[in-house]
Structure 1
Amino acid sequence: MQVRGHWRPALDAVLFALVAVLFALSGTAISVPLAVAQVLPLLVRRRYPGPALAVIAVATSAHSLLGMARAVGYLPVALAVYSAATHRSPWVRWGACGGAVVLVTVTGAIRHGPVEGGLLAAVALIVTWLAGAERAVIAQLRLERHLADQAAATARSRERLARRLHDSLAHTMTVMLVQGEALRATARLTTEDEERLALVLQAGRTALADVRVALAEETQRDAAAALDGRLAALREAGLRAADPPGLDALPPVAREVAYRLIGEAATNALRHDGPGTRLTAELIRAAERTSLRVTSTPRAGHPRPAGRAPAGGFGLSSLADDVTAIGGTLTYGPAGGSWTVRADFPTPGPPHPAEPPGGPTP
């Protein structure tokens, strides 16, 4: 079961209170300052997992050398390791966690012996470390499965609608038009009958065109609904995503691609930069080109490590082909401490008034 983001501060506060009570009642604290240094950083272990783990590990090691009771005394550092094991940076996942395990293990062995102290600390912290890493993998797989299920449901809905329109209205109208044209070619009609038949055929063509427009509009609505569902899931996982801009300035054929592009950029932002990442999308319209720019910025204090910007994966490569197919271009890459995806589309010209069957209106 996933914990909703707005419940995490309350749960963290309860957990912190329980650990503090355990320290107070169990007689674990030999040195009050060291006990405070072990427990207090737990309040910021999600926001600053590396520094919090470093402070807790050093305090735990010093407290252990003074003869701290092991059972409760190792609880804060275990909680800090569990949180740091899910961090996006390998320096935190491997460096900080590994250093904490080694430091606490060595000091435990010095004070309590290699088995009772060192081996016990090593096993407990390594198991906690692996559990945290496994949780991060499971959360990512759960999110990707949820997004895939949403996309599949949208595709099925769109296919059902297209099949119904094709098998009912579009098919019937096509038959009517074919029979009407056959009647015009083979029957001897008066002038009035010719006019009536022309009106019927024109109405049939208009209705068939309306069906096609309705199907295209439904496709756009499906794409917009799929994006809303994806952003909702990503926000639940910790992404700070602003509402996407209105895409009416884009050509109709480009809107669905734009919806998919925002969704792909949002998923990549959470995958590569982790919870707390801010995602913004901006639509810039010029005379000949309309640009959609999507920017992901890691949370304060956690800039993207230099040289570790993600390369364009299959999702962006596929979108680049789609954008190129409709006359646009797609570029992406690091910009300062952020990552930007930009699609440029041809700006549609002003709409032309529809011409009546008899020719242009004078």
Structure 2
Amino acid sequence: MRRLLAFDIALFALVVVLFALSDSVVSVPLAVVQLLPLLVRRRYPGAALAVIAAATAAHSLLGMARAVGYLPAALALYGAATHRSPWVRWGVCGGAVVLVTVTGAIRHGPVEGGLLAAGALIVTWLFGAERGVLLRERALVAQLRLDRHLADRAAATASSRERLARRLHDGLAHTMTVMLVQGEALRATARLTTADEERLDVVLGAGRAALAEVRLALAEEAQRDAAATLDGRLAALREAGLEADGITGLDTLPAAVREVAFRLVGEAATNALRHDGPGARLDAAVTRAGETVRLGLTSTPGSGRPASEPGGGGFGLASLAEDVTAVGGTLTYGPAERGWRVTAEFREPPTHRAAP
């Protein structure tokens, strides 16, 4: 992003210098209106092109030199032609080409003015549209690669978890369950002394604790699998163009909700790249207020693009909302300033401290 900003500033400075040295400026205010929108052409490509095209047309009618004077319009046209919106890509770009071409023909004649402007702008327009197609195809290929990677990773994780669960269930957990059942039966049917009952209670308590540790080990394994899956998912998304360096604090979430939180971050990251393309950014923040712990995920489009709404949140978030509810939390999502925000709130269990 910093290199892109530096490039835009250098390009803007170069165009300003060319305007100053070419002696093409007839109206300084119109020249300023032609140049300034270049600074926001990535964030507002359609609006920037419309303003620059109108200023270029007016400046051309006043006698502006053609070559350098059309450069801001060409740069804005190239950027707008890559936009994902057909209205911007064809409507605004087409209108700008027609406007600049007609005014050029009026001022400088149909050949030197109209055809020259039309040829240069149409070629620029087509190059921009082709680059937009390549960017969208690149995002699609990255998404397909990501889906395949996630499917392979999920299959491997499920297989590993199934093997571990089967070994624990068929081995230690099954044996401990049998011991507990037999111990309870012994207490119900045998005549035991008080000392024997106390010994049996110790044995049964140890057995229940061991069985609980087995279940806890399975839960922790599920969390480790979810964390590893998230790491792989974020790595693939970063390779495809997502900026996801601001994801911190997940390890501080309550253990009971951590697995759901990992999957929620993965879904939000995938949606950010899918809907806003390469350069999109995802940030995560964990905050606490009383007994409530909040996980906030915010995605913003890259290169100044306007955010696109993910169709009401999509099936993935709707499904995860049920999982969040199942662990006692709530999930909300919707548009935010220049982006999309997902917020999950959970009840944090009280911390028990040992008395001094």
For Structure 1 versus Structure 2, the TM-score category normalised by the shorter chain is 0.5 to 0.7
- Going from structure 1 to structure 2, the CA distance change for 1:158 and 1:216 (only over 3 Å counts) comes to farther
Tell me if 1:260 matches 2:263.
yes
Q: Name the Cα RMSD after superposition.
A: 5.3
Partner of 1:224: 227
1:324 maps to 325
Counterpart in the other structure of 1:290: 293
State the match for 2:147 in structure 1. Answer: 148
Q: Residue 313 of structure 1 aligns with which residue? A: 314
Structure-2 change in CA distance of 1:328 and 1:130 (3 Å)? same
Shift of 1:317: 1.1
Q: How many Å separate the matches in 2 of 1:104 and 1:52?
A: 15
1:30/1:293 CA distance change after superposition, 3 Å? closer
Does residue 242 of the first structure (1) align with residue 246 of the second (2)?
Answer: yes
Q: 1:212 to 1:81 in 2, by over 3 A?
A: farther
Change (3 A) 1:90 1:269: farther
Q: Matched residue pairs, number?
A: 332
Aligned residues of 1:30 and 1:66 also touching (Cα < 8 A):
no
Aligned CA distance change for structure 1 residues 10 and 95 (closer, same or farther; 3 Å): same
Q: Which residue number corresponds to residue 99 of structure 1?
A: 95
TM-score (norm 1): 0.64
Residues 246 and 284, structure 2, Cα contact 8 Å, conserved in 1: yes
The CA distance in 2 between the partners of 1:276 and 1:118, in whole Å, is 35
Percentage of identical aligned residues:
47
Distance 1:249 1:13, change over 3 A: closer
Q: Report the equivalent of 2:190.
A: none
Partner of 1:165: 164
Rounded to whole Å, the distance in 1 between the matches of 2:341 and 2:94 is 33
Structure 1 unpaired stretches of 5+: 187-194, 354-362
Per-residue deviation at 1:147? 3.5
Q: How far off is 1:152 after superposition? A: 2.1
What is the CA-CA distance between 1:321 and the residue it aligns to? 1.9
Quick one: structure 1 residues 30 and 13, their matched pair in 2 at CA, closer, same or farther if it must change by over 3 Å?
Answer: closer
Q: Distance in 1 between matches of 2:344 and 2:88?
A: 34
- Structure 1 residues 97 and 245, CA gap change in structure 2 (3 angstroms): farther
Aligned match of 1:83? 79
Residues 81 and 128, structure 2, Cα contact 8 Å, conserved in 1: yes
Which residue of 1 is the match for residue 341 of structure 2? 340
The aligned residue for residue 281 of structure 1 is: 285
Per the TM alignment, residue 319 of structure 1 is displaced from its structure 2 partner at its CA by 1.4
Kindly indicate whether the alpha-carbon contact (under 8 Å) linking 1:78 and 1:128 is maintained by their aligned counterparts in 2.
no
Q: With the length of structure 2 as denominator, give the TM-score of the two structures.
A: 0.65
| Higher helix proportion (structure 1 or 2) | 2
- 2:3 and 2:145 map into 1 onto residues whose CA distance is 21
Q: CA deviation at 1:345?
A: 2.5
Q: Return closer, same or farther for 1:203/1:160 CA change in 2, 3 Å cut-off.
A: farther
Q: In the TM superposition, what is the alpha-carbon distance from 1:336 to its structure 2 partner?
A: 5.7
TM superposition shift of 1:155: 1.1
Q: 1:214 to 1:149 in 2, by over 3 A?
A: farther
Q: Which amino acid letter does the alignment assign opposite residue 284 of structure 1?
A: R
Gap regions ≥5 residues in structure 2: 187-197
